[in-house]
Amino acid sequence: MTATLAIARPDADEYFEYYDKYITLVREEDALSSLRDQFEDTLVLLRPLDETRSRHRYAPGKWSVKEVVGHLTDSERIFAYRALRIARADTTPIEGFDENTYVPAGRFDDRPLADLIEDYERVRDATLSLFTGLDEDALVRRGTANGKTISARAIAWIIAGHELHHRGILIERYGIGKGTP
């Protein structure tokens, strides 16, 4: 059986407690439907922005909107890669990554926002394809990432919650979606 119906909420021992802040943001009881549905809400926030607004930073030293989108895309790629390796029973520990190195190196402010959004859409399509094709054994399989034990299904929940976390920041701190295009 594949995960086309649902990816159940992971047990607390399937992920490092740091990720609980993301997993608890997901209100649905299925990570797969959340990954499908919530993404449209994020796109609704981003698509109306012009290039000037997409370079906005809510405070000095903080990421621009474009950098947030780039960070979401990079992070989702990395998390999906981790899920793939774990689901395929690769027991090699997976290294961590430093988003504060990735974002400046990504030079996201130099790219058109429309390109960044399209890239994010393609990554989400690939993520959905990956998780849809995993059976229950693969989803609950555990591996080591960033020195911590994690299951493939926990990663699906983390991806969903991570997006919700950053969407909340875009709304609250950047003022996006509050009548300001």
pTM summary value? 0.95
91: how many CB neighbours lie within 10 A of its CB?
10
The whole-angstrom separation of Cα 146 and Cα 46 is: 31
- Identify the residue whose tokens are 């911590």: 148
What pLDDT shows up at residue 177? 86
Angstrom CA distances, 61 to 3, 67, 76, 144, 168, stand at 41, 12, 23, 32, 19
- The pLDDT-based confidence of 11 (bands split at 50, 70, 90) is very high
Instruction: Report the candidate in 3, 23, 12 with the shortest Cα–Cα distance to residue 159.
Output: 23
Six-digit token pair at 5?
């119906």
pLDDT surpasses 80 at 181: no
3-state SS, residue 149: strand
- The pLDDT-based confidence of 179 (bands split at 50, 70, 90) is low
Label residues 138-167 b or e (16+ Cβ within 10 Å = b): bbbbbbbbeeeebbbbbbbbbbbbbbbebb
- The pLDDT-based confidence of 121 (bands split at 50, 70, 90) is very high
Summarised one tens digit per residue, pLDDT across range 80-99 is: 999 999 999 999 999 999 99
% of the chain residues with pLDDT over 90: 94
Over residues 102-114, the mean pLDDT reads 98
pLDDT surpasses 90 at 3: no
pLDDT surpasses 70 at 43: yes
In order of their start, the domains of the chain are 12-172 (1.20.120.450)
What pLDDT shows up at residue 180? 53
pLDDT surpasses 90 at 36: yes
What pLDDT shows up at residue 149? 97
